Amino acid sequence: MGVYSMDQTEGELLLIYFIPESETAIAKNAEADLANDITVNRNYAVKQEASAIHPLATVKYDRLAARDYANKYTSEVTSSLGYDTSKWNPNYAWHTESGGVDCANYVSQAIYAGGIPKDSTWKPESTAWVNTGRNISNGLKQYMVDTKGYFYKTTKGGTSAGGFISAVNYSHVMFIVANDGVTMLFSAHTNDRLKASFANFSSSSYEFYYVNSSYL
């Protein structure tokens, strides 16, 4: 770079002169600046390329894995008790109080097995995990549909294995394990059901939810 020179004569103001670099020095410094800019831009490009190759993880829902989980951890119970805990997953708490209120806990487990991640709101034993949301505003339905948008409300014909059913007139959810447009099958807890037919149920008394296509 150039230098500053000061010159002052008696009774005169101090004058400051800027003496520029030689043309050779200017050219050399310009080359150095250009090389630095190229290096910075190249490093940025490498980072961008790496980001494109290794994108941030996204939520993906394996509805068939969720279906398989649902069918594995329940059974068809016809006794007055309504459930058989020997078929339930021992790694989770069981809600057999009040005659059995494990339906949302079971559906949450299946959804989690399909790949929907837990967080501070939806996790085992949280309200959003174990409550259907029918009589409160922060249950399973509100979390999955209203808060996160993982699922959306649809019709019976718009669902497939991996979706869930919620009763309108009472607090109960069931997991859809098959639907070919003619026959819908569901599995559930309390009462425990395994690949049970929905044929004898009135569709108007239930709401149907299926996973948003963005997560498939």
Q: Is the pLDDT of residue 59 over 90?
A: yes
| CB contact at 8 A, 141 and 135 | no
- The pLDDT tens digits of the residues spanning 131-151 come to 999 999 999 999 999 999 999
Q: What is the DSSP letter of 116?
A: P
Average pLDDT over all residues of the chain: 84
Could you tell me what percent of the chain has a pLDDT over 70? 74
Confidence of residue 55 (pLDDT cuts 50, 70, 90): very low
Q: Is the pLDDT of residue 66 over 90?
A: yes
Helices (H) and strands (E) in the chain — how many of each? Answer: 5, 8
Confidence of residue 52 (pLDDT cuts 50, 70, 90): very low
Mean pLDDT of 169-197: 97
The 3 state secondary structure assigned to 136-157 is: CCCCHHHHHHHHCCCEEEECHH
Half-sphere exposure in the Cβ direction for 70 (13 Å, CA): 34
| CB contact at 8 A, 69 and 110 | yes
- The pLDDT tens digits of the residues spanning 92-135 come to 999 999 999 999 999 999 999 999 999 999 999 999 999 999 99
Which is more confidently placed, 211 or 44? 211
The pLDDT of residue 102: 98
The most confident of 5-14, 20-29, 135-144, by mean pLDDT: 135-144
Q: Is the pLDDT of residue 172 over 50?
A: yes
Confidence of residue 194 (pLDDT cuts 50, 70, 90): very high
Could you tell me what percent of the chain has a pLDDT over 90? 72
Q: Is the pLDDT of residue 33 over 70?
A: no
The pLDDT of residue 20: 53
